[in-house]
Structure 1
Amino acid sequence: MVQAQLPLHSLLSFRIVCKQWNMMLQSKSFIAKVPCARHGGWFLFRGEGKECVAFMPSVNKWCQINLDFLLPARVRVVATSGGLLCVRQHDDQLIVCNPFTKAWLQLPPKLHRWKYPIVGMVKIGQSYNVVVAGRKGAHANIVTEIYDSETATWKLVIDKNQIQLQQSFQTNAVFFNGSLYCAGQNAILVYNMEQNQWMEISGPIMENTKLMLPQICVCHSCLLMVEVMSNRFLMTRISIWKLSKFGGLWSKIASMPDKLLKEVMNISGSRLFTYFGCNNLVLFIFARRRVLAYNIRQNSWHWIPCCPFIHNFARRFAHFSYDPNLGSTI
Structure 2
Amino acid sequence: IPLSSLVPQSFSPAAASGGLLCFLSDCSGPKTLLLVNPISKIAACLPPTPTPRLFPAAALSVGPSSITAVVAGDDLISPFAVKNLTSETFLADAATGFYSPWTGPPSPLPRLCNIDPSRMAFAANRFYCMSSSPFAVLVYDVAANAWSKLQPPMRRFLRSPSIVELDDAREGGGGDGGGKIALVAAVEKSRLSVPRSVRVWALQACGRAWAEADRMPADVHARFCAAEAGRGFECVANGGVIAFTIKAAAAAAAAEVLLFDSIRKEWQWAPPCPFVAPYGGSRALRGFAYEPRLATPAIGLLDSSLSLSFQGFSG
TM class, shorter-chain normalised?
A: 0.7 to 0.9
Cα distance in structure 2, aligned partners of 1:189 and 1:130: 16
In the TM superposition, residue 158 of structure 1 has moved relative to its aligned partner by: 4.4
Note closer, same or farther for the CA distance 1:135–1:314 as it changes in structure 2 (3 Å cut).
same
Instruction: Return the match for 2:233 from 273, 278, 290.
Output: 273
User: Is the contact between residue 110 and residue 145 of structure 1 (CA under 8 Å) also seen in structure 2?
Assistant: no
Q: Letter of the aligned partner of 2:258 in structure 1?
A: L
Counterpart position of 1:30: none
The code of the aligned residue for 1:112 comes to: T
Structure 1 position 106, deviation (Å): 2.4
1:90 alignment partner in structure 2 = 26
Q: Which residue of 1 aligns with 2:264?
A: 298
| Letter paired with 1:283 | A
| Separation of aligned partners in 1, 2:213 and 2:294 | 36
Secondary structure in 1 matching 2:122: strand
- Say if 2:168 is the partner of 1:200: no
Moved more, 287-296 or 299-308: 287-296
Distance 1:153 1:206, change over 3 A: closer
Q: State the partner residue of 2:307.
A: none
Give the letter for the 2:84 counterpart: A
Amino acid at match of 1:242: A
Contact 1:96 1:105 survives alignment (8 Å): yes
Summarize the Cα distance change of 1:265–1:123 in structure 2 as closer, same or farther, 3 Å threshold.
Answer: closer
Classify 1:300/1:127 alpha carbon distance in 2 versus 1 (closer, same or farther; 3 Å).
same
Letter in 2 for 1:302: Q
Partners of 2:120 and 2:281 lie apart in 1 by: 22
Q: Deviations over 1:236-261 (max 9, x none)?
A: 21111111112521111111111121
- Aligned partner of residue 307 in structure 1, secondary structure: coil
CA distance in structure 1 between the partners assigned to 2:282 and 2:8 by the alignment: 24
One-letter amino acid of the structure 1 residue matched with residue 103 of structure 2 = K
- The CA distance in 1 between the partners of 2:104 and 2:184, in whole Å, is 33
Aligned counterpart, 1:4 = none
Please tell me the residue identity of whatever aligns with 2:292. Answer: P
Q: Is the 8 A contact 2:87 2:109 kept in 1?
A: no
- Paired residues of 2:71 and 2:89 also in contact (CA < 8 A): yes
Tell me if structure 2 keeps the 8 A contact 1:237–1:255. Answer: yes
Judged with a 3 Å threshold, the aligned counterparts in structure 2 of structure 1 residues 143 and 102 are, in CA distance, closer, same or farther, namely: same
Please say which structure displays the higher CA radius of gyration: 1
Residue of 222, 234, 259 corresponding to 1:262: 222
Q: CA RMSD in A?
A: 2.5
Q: Does the aligned pair in 1 maintain the 2:245–2:287 contact within 8 Å?
A: no
Count of residues paired in the alignment: 261
State how 1:1-330 maps to structure 2 within 5 Å.
65-70=1-6, 72-91=8-27, 92-136=31-75, 138=82, 140-146=84-90, 148=92, 151=99, 153-159=101-107, 163-164=110-111, 166-185=113-132, 186-206=135-155, 208-209=157-158, 212-220=159-167, 221-230=179-188, 236-246=196-206, 248-286=208-246, 287=249, 288=253, 289-311=255-277, 315-329=283-297, 330=299
> Secondary structure in 1 aligned to 2:223?
helix
Contact 2:200 2:213 in 1 (8 A): yes
Residues 9-55 of structure 1, C-alpha deviations (whole Å, 9 max, x = no match)? xxxxxxxxxxxxxxxxxxxxxxxxxxxxxxxxxxxxxxxxxxxxxxx
Q: Partners in 1 of 2:74 and 2:162 — Cα distance?
A: 20
Q: Match of 2:263, SS?
A: coil
State the SS of the aligned residue for 2:157: coil
**How many angstroms does 1:156 deviate by?**
3.4
Stretches of structure 1 that go unaligned for 5 or more consecutive residues are: 1-64
* TM-score normalised by structure 1 residue count: 0.71
Please report how far the alpha carbon of residue 169 of structure 1 lies from its aligned counterpart in structure 2 after TM superposition. Answer: 2.1
Say if 1:208 and 1:163 are closer, same or farther in 2 by CA, change over 3 A. closer
Name the CA distance, whole Å, in 2 between partners of 1:204 and 1:67. 39
Alpha-carbon distance in 2 for matches of 1:309, 1:177? 35
Shift of 1:207: 5.0
**CA spacing shift, 1:74–1:238, aligned 2, 3 Å:** same
Give aligned-pair identity as a percent: 24
What's the counterpart of residue 311 of structure 2?
A: none
Cα deviation, 1:107-145, whole Å, max 9, x if unaligned, reads: 222211222212111212222122112223535242424
Shift of 1:85: 1.6
